[in-house]
Structure 1
Amino acid sequence: MNSQKLLFGFMPLPLIWGYIAIAIFMAGDGFEMAFLSKYITNMGFSQEQATFVFTVYAFVAAIAAWSSGVIAEVITPQKAMLAGFAIWVVFHVLFMTLGIGMHNYPLMVIFYGLRGFGYPLFIYSFIILLIHNLPQNKISTAMGWFWAAYSVGLGTIGGLLPGYTNSKIGEHGTLWLALIWVAVGGLLALFALRKVKISEEKANLSSSEKIHELTRAITILFTNKYIFMSALIRIINTIPLFGVAIIMPWFLEGDPKHNLAGLGFKNEEWQQIWALFLTITIFTNVLWGIMGDHIGWLRQVRWIGCVCGVFSCLAFYYVPLYFGHNYYAAMIPAVMLGITVAAFVPMTAVFTALEPNHQGAAVSIYNLSASLSQSVAAIIAGAVIGIWGISGVLWTYAGLYVFAAILTYFIKVDQPKMVKTVRN
């Protein structure tokens, strides 16, 4: 720890500004999420073409998330954040001018896809900065605040503000406004974090040694069985989150393609229920980040995240089934999932504690697992719904939580100051 002023007894003041920068940056990054696909189809392109734009973007972002931890260590987190910021700005401008501006579909795909390298490199490099500057027994708390800042930016500001700006300056204007928000967040981070302590051990390696370190983002899965099991848990963590977003509109509103009559809900009602879930996670990320450092990382993941998560999954089917078209009753599962899904926040601390000499590689695997979660959720939903219906999908998700709970008993990690209580 450096000698600068600490807040809450452990947090250097510049890192607080880093959290604010993450929230502002992710707000700008999330502006287009609710309307870009429709905006592209309104330009005359097909739904399939619009979907492909997002598919390419998601693939590139997953690669960036996977490699960001190691990259941040071998070039320093600040330089990695600068690279991510610059990539986002450059390719967003090219996307807006040569892609959207010229109605050139191939360039839209290329530039929007390449922009996907930007935000993971920016925000996940900040995690490495947190790890290098905070005691191990505060990483869970720090990550709780990180995901809260992420949710405030992407989910709250990024989700609500475009609803206002689209009517005032149009969707095209909102896309340009996103650049301003990202620029403010990026510049704030670069200014506030420029003198934060960093470990240059990996940055001073030779080129061949750096390449070898980059390969650890792959090989660590096979050399450390606890990292592999932790990766499975992290994948399972948000499978119900992404899966519920896919199947619940079919269940509540109906879907002729799947022979689902629905329960009479309107799309606006489901959107409000989902917004409640996102709002709940802002607070529960902070709560469980702090609690994990006190009651035990894996103990919290096991009982709150996994075991209680089983009931959260099943509630999405059985509560609406019992109460029918009852808007307030349908909020109960959303609140439950908002509480339980955030209990996995300490997994970042688990990953880094399992590989203290290669924390960048550990964070890279964590990020890869998080990225895979959405794809796995969609695959399960698509494969199961035609056989066992909505209930079958949710029972499958619940079963995965049981499997994750069992895995926690096989992971051996020493949590600072709580060694005796978290040995499994």
Structure 2
Amino acid sequence: MNAITHSERKRIAGIDSGLFWGYVATMIFMVGDGLEQGWLSPYLVQHGLTVQQSSMLFTVYGATLAVASWFSGVLAEAWGPRRVMTLGVLIWLIGEVLFILFGMEHQNYAVMLPTYAIRGFGYPLFCYSFLVWVTYRSAGKGLGTAVGWFWFALSGGLYVIGNYYSAYMIPIIGNIGTMWTAVIWVLIGGLIGIFLVKGNVSEYMGNSKEKLKTLKSGLTICYENPKVALGGIVRIINNTGIGGIPVFYPVYLSTHFGFTTTQWLQIWGTFWFVNIAFSVISGYISDKILGWRNTVMWVGSVGCGIMTLVLFYTPKAFGHSFLMVDLAAMLFGAVLSGYVPLTALISSLTPENKGASMSVVNFGAGFSYFIGPAIVGIFIGPIGAGGVVWIFAILYFISAVIMAFIKLPENHSALKQV
């Protein structure tokens, strides 16, 4: 299974033209998947749940998301990306309908837990399988840019369009009505991704023995290549703070500084709008100037450690200042994009087995949404919101230290490492 070279594919803005509709599908799908991320926790707290119960809901969701993220890469290689993407759409729709119909509409927490967990399997199988497709059809120096566009599409749908869409729709049709529209977004995105993405997926599939070997490699690669394991840890830290902040921060802003849910959604949407813009820029800078490792280490890790604290202490310093909190969120979103080259870096450590290394990276992305809410649930009571934020900040600084140990082989010509 060899990566397809640059010369064999037409490219649009640095991405394979055959995969163009996959990026579109990813963005649309993730609008449906993420439109509740910014408001579901405060909504549930307002309707009788505790912050700890809400964090448990997101923790269970993160656990299933992590499992699906782990297997998405190797399943995409073993079965083909298109089949795994189809499975992701079907599972997501089942979980969503059950969650709304029998859980959310009746405020039945016992039903919400398992059904939201089922939903968690959906988007990794759909989106991360497509990401494996991207890594195989993008070559060398262009891989950082191609991956940057993927995260542009995913984050743009999940956080930017989803948040602004919810801020507009909730006052009109309510929270549950807005939640039902997610089904439409996912159906449209799913159909586009399944039927319009071009390319022969048979190149990713071997015989039955090769498939078994691929699945096994997804479990053994961390032992065989410790640098891949370190990259997975950094990927977990990457989104740990981002996975935990929406669980408690909007409640904190509302309780202590009078921010409304609509204001929070606008702040969170702005955060991700800036992030997706800088994701493409960071992909280019990492390919052409800094190198993948230095971009992740200094821009992503150190930058996020600082800006996590800045975001929390800005309302303490300026009170109910929408402008200042929004500005802090914008800067945070910009430095978070520094983690974008991590996918290209880790997949390039094992060019002969990208699916397995991508499974580790994807698992890290999913597992962070387990760790983040879990940290909130465990520590919000004993040490408060400020203590939780410091935990997230310290984790980001730790990821910078870990990145010092992740280097490509000396003969790797795609980038500068230092």
TM superposition score category, shorter chain reference? 0.7 to 0.9
Question: SS at the partner of 2:322?
Answer: coil
In structure 2, which of residues 19, 26, 29 is the aligned counterpart of residue 25 of structure 1? 29
- Is the counterpart of residue 292 in structure 1 residue 286 in structure 2? yes
Q: Does 1:344 align with 2:347?
A: no
| Distance (whole Å) between structure 2 residues aligned to residue 366 and residue 125 of structure 1 | 12
Contact 2:15 2:145 in 1 (8 A): no
Residue 138 of structure 1: aligned partner: 142
Change (3 A) 1:365 1:28: same
Name the counterpart of 2:70: 66
1:190 and 2:185 are equivalent in the alignment: no
State the 1:366 CA deviation: 0.7
The 3-state SS of whatever aligns with 1:242 is helix
- The 1:416–1:191 alpha-carbon spacing in structure 2 relative to 1, beyond 3 Å, is farther
Deviations 1:91-122 (A, max 9, x none): 54565667778998876655543333222101
CA distance in 2, matches of 1:168, 1:325: 26
Which range moves more in the overlay, 67-76 or 163-172? 163-172
Cα gap change, 1:173/1:70 in structure 2, threshold over 3 Å: closer, same or farther?
Answer: same
- Provide the identity percentage: 36
Q: How big is each residue's C-alpha offset from its partner over 1:77-97, in whole Å with a ceiling of 9 and x where there is no partner?
A: 111112212333355456566
Q: Is the 8 A contact 2:408 2:417 kept in 1?
A: yes
Question: Could you tell me whether the CA contact under 8 Å between 2:62 and 2:368 is conserved in 1?
Answer: no
Matches within 5 A, 1:223-234: 223-234=224-235
Q: Which residue of 1 aligns with 2:236?
A: 235
1:240-280 deviation per Cα after TM superposition (whole angstroms, max 9, x unaligned) = 333444554566555xxxxxxx4x34244444433321221
Provide closer, same or farther for how the CA distance between residues 344 and 97 of structure 1 changes in structure 2, counting only shifts above 3 A: closer
- Larger RCO of the pair (alpha carbons < 8 Å, separation 6+): 2
CA RMSD of aligned residues (A): 3.5
Residue in 2 aligned with 1:257? none
**What is residue 120 of structure 2 aligned with on the other side?**
116
CA deviation vs aligned residue, 1:155-184 (integer Å, no higher than 9, x gap): 233223344445555555544432222221
Alignment match, 1:266: 259
Q: Map residues 166-205 of structure 1 onto 2, 5 A cutoff.
A: 166=170, 168=172, 173-193=177-197, 195-198=198-201, 200=203, 203-205=205-207
Q: Distance between the aligned counterparts of 2:101 and 2:154, measured in 1?
A: 28
Q: Are the counterparts in 1 of residues 11 and 17 from structure 2 also a CA contact under 8 Å?
A: yes
Normalised to the residue count of structure 1, the TM-score between the two structures is 0.82
Q: Which moves more between the two structures, 318-327 or 295-304?
A: 318-327
Q: Which residue of 1 aligns with 2:162?
A: 158
Whether the 8 Å CA contact 2:293–2:407 is kept in 1: the answer is no
Q: How far, CA to CA, are the matches of 1:72 and 1:371 in structure 2?
A: 16
TM-aligned CA deviation for residue 200 of structure 1: 2.9
SS in 2 for 1:196: coil
Task: Please state how far the C-alpha of 1:326 moved relative to its aligned partner.
Answer: 3.5
Q: Who is 2:349 aligned against?
A: 354
Instruction: From the superposition, tell whether residues 199 and 304 of structure 1 become closer, same or farther in structure 2 (CA, over 3 Å).
Output: farther
Distance 1:306 1:50 in 2: 28
How far the C-alpha of 1:54 sits from its partner, in A, is 5.0
2:42 and 2:314 mapped to 1: Cα distance? 32
TM-score by length of 2: 0.83
User: Are residues 164 and 338 of structure 1, via their aligned partners in 2, closer, same or farther at CA, if it must alter by over 3 Å?
Assistant: closer
Which is worse superposed, 231-240 or 349-358? 231-240
Unmatched 5+ residue regions in structure 2?
A: none
Rg comparison, structure with higher value:
1
Letter in 1 for 2:68: A
The answer on whether the counterparts of 1:137 and 1:416 sit within 8 Å (CA) in structure 2 is no
Matching residue within 280, 300, 317 for 1:305: 300
Q: More deviation in 219-228 or 47-56?
A: 47-56
Distance in 1, Cα, partners of 2:315 & 2:38: 26
